[in-house]
C-alpha cells in the first residue's frame, strides 16, 4: 500500500456526505484548520486538525504551504467532444443574430454537427484529451460529457466511444450522457417527431445495450424539441434504465422544468427563464438545478434565480457547459466567480455547487465531491487561504496543485 500525506493545510473546506445538499444544507461546509489528510493508495484514510499529524510512515509528503484545500471540482455539464470551433459566429452576433437565429439558419449546433461528422474518432479523442488536461489544471477532477453533435447512429456512437475511451485512459473520471436529441439534423428538417421516434426505437436501445452512457439528455427549447417530444424521449429513456437530464428553460420556458420534476430527472440544466411552477415541480421531484452562469455571460442573458431555488429546497450545482457555441470556456473557476457575483451564493454554497451536488448529479456522489475517509483522494491545493478568495479573484488560475486518486497530477 502506498501512503501519502498532505500536511500544513491552513484550511480544509468540504461539504460532507454522499447526497446532494439543498436549502440551508447547500451552505453547510466543514472547515478543518491546521489540518492534514492521509491517503492510502487512491483513497482518503484520515483527516486531522489543529496541528495533529496522522501516525505512521508515508511514501510521499505534500506540503500545502498553509493554503486552502478542497475536494477536486466536479464539472457536471460539458459538451467536451466536438469538431472544429465557431469563432465566425462573433461576426453574426455583432450583426444582431441571436443564438436561436443562428441555429434556425442551419448554423450553431448544426455547424458543429457537420464538423464532428467529418472528424475521425482519433481526432476527436486527441482534441478532447487535451481539454481534459486543461480542465484538470483548473482543479476539475471529475466531469460529465455529452454526445449530441453526431445526430445519427454512426456519429453519436463515435462520440460516445470517444467519451468512454477518455474515461478509461485519462485520470479524469468522465460520466457519459447520450444527447441524440440536441438538435434536428438536416436530413430530418421539419420532421422532429420522426427524428425522436428514430432515437427512441433505434439508437437509444443500442446505446443502452452497449453500455455507452448512463444518462440521457434532450434540448427542450423553442424551435428545437417541444415538451411533448421531450416527454416521449425521456419516458423511453427512463424505461430503458437511463437516468434523465434535460436542457430546460434556457431561452424560453416551454415546460422543460415541469417535465424534469414530474419525471424525477436527476438534473435540469440552464433554467435561465424558469418560472415559479417549474421550480416547484423540481423541488417536488428532487431534481438538481445544474446552473451554467458562464453561458448566461457569453449569451449576454440574465442569470438563473439561484437564491429562489435554494429557498425552495432545490439542490443547486454550477457547471461550465463547455461547448463550441454558447460557452467556449472550460474554466470552472470563472463559473465559481459568477456563482458568487451573479447568483449571490455564499462561498460555502458555491463550493457545494461545484463538488458534492454535481458529483451526485453525475452518479459519482459515493466516490467524489467531498474530502472524507473512504472517498477517492481527489483534492485541490489552492493558491489561496480560503474559498472566499477563489470566489473573488477572477481571470487567474488559482489551482496550485491537483491530486487525483492519490496522485499529484499538477
Binding stretches for Fe ion (CB under 5 A): 321
Supply the angle between the helices 256-263 and 276-285 in degrees, to the nearest 10: 20
Residues in the chain: 410
Strand, coil or helix: what is 65?
Answer: coil
Under the binding rule (CB under 6 A), the answer on residue 365 touching ligand NIG is no
Under the binding rule (CB under 6 A), the answer on residue 245 touching ligand NIG is no
**Non-local CB neighbours of 208 within 8 Å, separated by 6+ positions:** 240, 241, 242
Site pattern 180..219 for ligand NIG (x: CB under 6 A): ---------------------------------------x
From the list 105-113, 132-140, 205-213, 271-279, the region that binds ligand NIG by CB under 6 A is 105-113
Candidates 112, 142, 177, 296; binder of ligand NIG (CB under 6 A) is: 112
Under the binding rule (CB under 6 A), the answer on residue 326 touching ligand NIG is yes
Residues in binding contact with ligand NIG, number by CB under 6 A: 13
Nearest residue (CB) to ligand NIG, 144 versus 321: 321
Under the binding rule (CB under 6 A), the answer on residue 79 touching ligand NIG is yes
Nearest residue (CB) to Fe ion, 138 versus 149: 149
For residues 335 and 139, the answer to whether their CB atoms sit within 8 Å is: no
Minimum distance, C-beta of residue 285 to ligand NIG, in the bound complex (Å): 21
All 3 cell numbers of residue 370?
A: 467531498
For residues 360 and 74, the answer to whether their CB atoms sit within 8 Å is: no
Closest CA to 182 of 238, 220, 233: 220
Residue 112's binding partner out of Fe ion, ligand NIG, none, with CB under 5 to 8 Å set by partner kind? ligand NIG
Q: Which residues pair with 173 in a beta bridge?
A: 142
φ, ψ dihedrals at 286, nearest 5°? 70, 30
Nearest residue (CB) to ligand NIG, 266 versus 377: 266
Q: 187-193, long-range: CB within 8 Å, 24+ apart, which pairs?
A: 187/152, 192/225, 192/226, 192/229, 193/229
Q: Which residues of 296-314 are buried (b: 16+ CB within 10 A; e: fewer)?
A: bbbbebebbbbeebbebbb
Nearest residue (CB) to Fe ion, 225 versus 387: 225
Under the binding rule (CB under 6 A), the answer on residue 142 touching ligand NIG is no
Nearest residue (CB) to ligand NIG, 6 versus 224: 224
Q: Where are the beta strands (DSSP E) in 73-182?
A: 73-75, 140-146, 173-181
For residues 232 and 386, what is the distance between their CA atoms, to the nearest angstrom?
46
Nearest residue (CB) to Fe ion, 156 versus 321: 321
Under the binding rule (CB under 6 A), the answer on residue 321 touching ligand NIG is yes
Residue 301's binding partner out of Fe ion, ligand NIG, none, with CB under 5 to 8 Å set by partner kind? none
Minimum distance, C-beta of residue 109 to ligand NIG, in the bound complex (Å): 5
Q: What is residue 219's DSSP assignment?
A: B
Binding site for ligand NIG (CB under 6 A): 79, 108-109, 112, 219, 247, 250, 295, 321, 323-326
Amino acid at each position: 500500500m502506498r501512503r501519502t500525506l498532505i500536511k500544513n493545510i491552513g484550511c480544509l473546506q468540504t461539504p460532507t456526505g454522499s447526497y446532494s445538499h439543498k436549502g440551508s444544507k447547500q451552505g453547510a461546509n466543514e472547515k478543518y484548520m491546521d489540518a492534514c489528510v492521509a491517503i492510502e493508495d487512491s483513497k482518503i484514510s484520515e483527516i486531522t486538525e489543529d496541528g495533529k499529524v496522522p501516525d505512521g510512515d508515508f511514501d510521499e509528503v505534500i506540503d500545502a504551504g498553509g493554503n486552502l484545500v478542497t475536494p477536486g471540482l466536479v464539472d457536471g455539464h460539458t459538451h467536451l467532444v466536438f469538431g472544429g470551433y465557431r469563432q465566425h459566429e462573433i461576426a453574426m452576433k455583432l450583426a444582431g443574430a441571436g443564438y436561436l437565429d443562428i441555429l434556425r439558419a442551419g448554423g450553431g449546433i448544426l455547424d458543429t454537427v457537420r464538423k464532428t461528422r467529418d472528424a475521425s474518432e482519433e481526432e476527436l479523442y486527441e482534441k478532447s484529451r487535451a481539454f481534459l488536461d486543461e480542465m484538470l489544471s483548473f482543479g476539475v477532477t471529475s466531469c460529465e460529457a455529452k454526445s449530441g453533435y453526431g445526430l445519427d447512429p454512426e456519429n453519436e456512437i463515435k462520440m460516445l466511444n470517444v467519451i468512454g475511451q477518455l474515461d478509461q485512459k485519462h485520470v479524469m473520471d468522465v460520466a457519459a450522457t447520450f444527447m441524440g436529441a440536441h438538435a434536428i439534423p438536416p436530413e430530418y428538417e421539419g420532421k422532429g417527431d420522426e427524428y425522436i421516434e428514430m432515437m427512441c426505437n433505434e439508437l437509444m436501445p443500442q446505446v443502452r445495450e452497449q453500455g455507452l452512457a448512463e444518462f440521457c439528455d434532450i434540448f427542450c427549447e423553442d424551435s428545437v424539441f417541444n415538451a411533448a417530444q421531450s416527454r416521449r424521449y425521456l419516458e423511453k429513456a427512463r424505461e430503458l434504465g437511463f437516468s434523465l437530464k434535460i436542457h430546460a428553460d434556457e431561452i424560453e420556458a416551454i415546460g422543460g422544468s415541469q417535465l424534469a420534476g414530474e419525471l424525477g430527472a436527476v438534473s435540469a440544466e440552464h433554467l435561465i427563464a424558469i418560472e415559479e411552477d417549474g421550480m416547484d415541480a423540481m423541488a417536488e421531484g428532487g431534481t438538481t438545478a445544474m446552473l451554467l452562469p458562464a453561458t448566461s455571460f457569453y449569451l449576454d442573458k440574465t442569470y438563473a434565480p439561484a437564491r429562489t431555488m435554494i429557498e425552495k429546497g432545490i439542490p443547486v450545482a454550477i457547471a461550465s457547459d463547455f461547448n463550441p457555441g454558447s460557452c467556449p470556456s472550460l474554466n470552472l473557476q470563472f463559473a465559481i466567480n459568477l456563482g458568487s457575483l451573479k447568483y449571490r451564493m455564499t462561498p460555502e454554497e458555491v463550493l457545494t455547487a461545484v463538488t458534492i451536488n454535481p458529483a451526485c448529479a453525475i452518479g459519482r456522489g459515493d466516490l467524489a465531491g467531498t474530502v472524507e475517509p473512504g472517498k477517492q483522494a481527489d483534492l485541490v491545493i489552492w493558491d489561496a487561504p480560503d474559498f472566499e478568495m477563489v470566489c473573488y479573484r477572477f481571470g487567474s488560475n488559482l489551482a496550485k496543485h491537483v491530486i487525483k486518486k492519490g496522485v499529484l497530477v499538477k
